[in-house]
Amino acid sequence: MGTNRIQWKNGFCDGIPIGLGYFAVSFTFGILAKKAGLTLFQAVVISLTNLTSAGQFAALGLMGASATYLEMASAQLILNLRYCLMSCALSQKLDAKAPFIHRFLLAHGITDEIFGVAVCKSGKLNPFYNYGLMSSAIPGWTLGTFFGVISGEVLPERIINALSIALYGMFIAVIIPPAKGNKVLTGIILLSMLMSSFFAKLEIFHHVSPGFKIIILTILIAGIAAFLFPIREADEDCSAGGKSIAPALQEGGLT
């Protein structure tokens, strides 16, 4: 029990920067949700139960277009399909005897940033570490939405635009530390950025959803990395000096 408490505290501290970043991004979502006609309660419940910026912002557009429940569900499935891959990767770090309830709860709290932090933990992953991450990240996302709805149209346009790009700053904060001193990982990250830009320019992908593009990039880049730089030891971690390319699974999804 004492170990679980320590793991939760460590996760909570590591998740504070994530929560602060989420607050800024979801603040913008709250403002847009109010403009779309959602009530304070509706906007907060959406953020509390979804935890996905791309999915939630897309949902506002679908609501405005009076989309059906089937269209809404299909769009959310495609946009958030990358979390299936993240769940598979993260499940490999859990103890094989971990109860189903832990896996179920961890699945709800998987986001790009939480996955990025959790997958880089050395050794087996204690579920309570992820609970700590979720305990500081989820309130940041939910409270940001709450205050965004309340603020409404009070803030000037330039501040709203600045808040909307805060998520990209979080992505950079996730990928830089493990890439320091690791030329292989640095190369994979740069490759993922180049390929992401290339995909954005290709006309054939213009009609492919952003979520599905992420899936294609993740599988392609992770496959290339796994083929060229296979992991020699099963227990190898993804620290800055290690040879593991596990973060590449994530970076393909972030770009």
Q: Average pLDDT of each block of 10 consecutive residues along the chain (255 residues)?
A: 86 92 86 86 92 82 79 80 85 86 89 88 89 94 92 72 64 73 83 84 74 73 81 49 40 38
Burial label, 87 (beta-carbon count in 10 A; 0-12, 13-18, 19+): middle
Say how far apart CA 195 and CA 23 lie, in whole Å: 30
What is the C-alpha R_g of the chain? 19
Say how far apart CA 188 and CA 140 lie, in whole Å: 31
pLDDT value of residue 114: 92
pLDDT value of residue 160: 66
Say how far apart CA 243 and CA 4 lie, in whole Å: 29
Identify residue 185 by its one-letter amino acid code: L
Report helix, strand or coil for 182.
Answer: coil
Separation of first and last alpha carbons in the chain: 38
106: tokens are 């961890």
Cα angle 100, 74, 32; round to 5: 100
Contact 32, 145 (CB under 8 A): no
Mean pLDDT of the chain: 79
Rounded alpha-carbon distances, angstroms, from residue 83 to 56, 99, 128, 159: 15, 20, 20, 30
Say how far apart CA 199 and CA 175 lie, in whole Å: 21
E strand or H helix that includes residue 218: helix 210-228
Burial label, 44 (beta-carbon count in 10 A; 0-12, 13-18, 19+): buried
Say how far apart CA 54 and CA 115 lie, in whole Å: 16
Contact 52, 111 (CB under 8 A): yes
Identify residue 173 by its one-letter amino acid code: A
Spell out a b/e string for 7-22, using b for 16 or more CB atoms within 10 Å of the CB, else e. Answer: bbebbbebbebbbebb
pLDDT value of residue 218: 74
Say how far apart CA 205 and CA 14 lie, in whole Å: 36
**pTM reported for the whole predicted model:** 0.65
Contact 146, 26 (CB under 8 A): no
Sequence-ordered strand ranges (E) for 99-184: none
HSE toward the beta carbon, residue 115, CA cutoff 13 A: 28
